[in-house]
Amino acid sequence: PLTPTADVMSSARRGRRAVGAFNVITLEHAEAVVTGAEAAGCPVICQISENAVRFHDSRLAPIARATAALAETAAVPVALHLDHVTDEALLRRAADCGFGSVMFDASALPHAENVAATRAAARWAQAQGLWVEAELGEIGGKDGVHAPSARTDPDQARDFVSVTGVDALAVAVGSSHAMTTRTSRLDHGLITRLAEAVPVPLVLHGATGVPDVELRQAVAAGMVKVNIGTALNAAFTGAVRDTLAAAPTVVDPRPALTAARRAMADAVTSALRTLSGGGYG
Ligand code: G3H
Ligand code: ZN
């Protein structure tokens, strides 16, 4: 069923597990996330990012409502999250489209402006019943520039959460967005210190670059939401490429999309097994 993000997150935190949050771009991505989560028997978060909305000509409702409809009939809890929102106008459309949560991302702004913008966004969104994530420390790679050396300071993180009132915090601990190799080393000591300093769940972005063994350690140290996008696109696009290459005159897109959806669902299932530590049996 479609489930509030807050509920999925609090039960994961109680169970010392992490919830996989997977980027949805097309309907087939959403189907793959739900099917993959059902196969793993795990709750899951479908997240639609601001740049995916831009891909849909800035229309939020069609892809959001389709994903919410898939969630409603899913055999596992499925939450719907609006990711990396920088545009306040988009934020204001979230509540009407089935989202249980938003990530408001002002991390590229100077610190004082990040605090002020996040505080205002969180206040508005929470009044609509939305669970709010924000980012401190600017995790790199969103602009194609990897900055795995960025780090979030635990004392600054504690103050940021208390002033802004956010429900979860994305932190810079060594990962970077859009990595196509799994070479990222995380700063596990820092994750532990952040988890002690901050009263809300921590979120790991750019988890594609992180090997499974590091992911498990990160969950043990206190990561509760783990965002994966690029690895799923690699599986999806790779299957499209292989299917079309094997049948160069094919016209119907469905064989390629069927293979893509299956490859992505398998990637979701295996990521969820890593993150849940087998905790859902
Ligand atoms: O918010 C989305 C994630 O941080 C995805 O990162 O594409 O590097 O896995 P990734
Ligand atoms: Zn991210």
Q: What is the pLDDT of residue 211?
A: 96
Q: Which are the contacts of 279, defined by CB distance < 8 A and separation ≥ 6? A: 15, 17
Are the CB atoms for 202 and 171 separated by under 8 Å? Answer: yes
d(CA 202, CA 167): 9
The ligand with the least distance to the CA atom of 83 is 1
Please give the structure tokens belonging to residue 271. 């990521």
More confident residue, 183 or 167: 167
Q: What is the mean pLDDT of the chain?
A: 96
Q: Residues 78-85: what's their mean pLDDT?
A: 98
Q: Is it the case that residue 279 has pLDDT exceeding 70?
A: no
Ligand 1 contact via 230 beta carbon (within 6 Å): yes
Ligand 1 contact via 84 beta carbon (within 6 Å): yes
Q: Residues 135-163: what's their mean pLDDT?
A: 90
Q: Is it the case that residue 281 has pLDDT exceeding 60?
A: no
> CATH number for the 5-276 domain, one of 3.20.20.70, 3.40.30.10, 3.50.50.60, 3.40.640.10?
3.20.20.70
Q: Residues 54-68: what's their mean pLDDT?
A: 98
d(CA 120, CA 164): 8
d(CA 90, CA 58): 9
DSSP state of 166: -
Q: What is the pLDDT of residue 144?
A: 76
Q: Residues 47-55: what's their mean pLDDT?
A: 98
| Closest Cα to atom 4 of ligand 1 | 205
Q: Is 83 among the catalytic positions?
A: yes
- Distance (angstroms) between ligand 2 centre and the Cα of 205 equals 4
Q: Is it the case that residue 25 has pLDDT exceeding 80?
A: yes
Q: Residues 150-163: what's their mean pLDDT?
A: 97
Ligand 1 contact via 119 beta carbon (within 6 Å): no
Single-letter code of the amino acid located at 69: A
CA 102 to chain centre: 10
Cα–Cα distances (Å) from 161 to 72, 135, 167, 187, in that order, read 32, 10, 8, 21
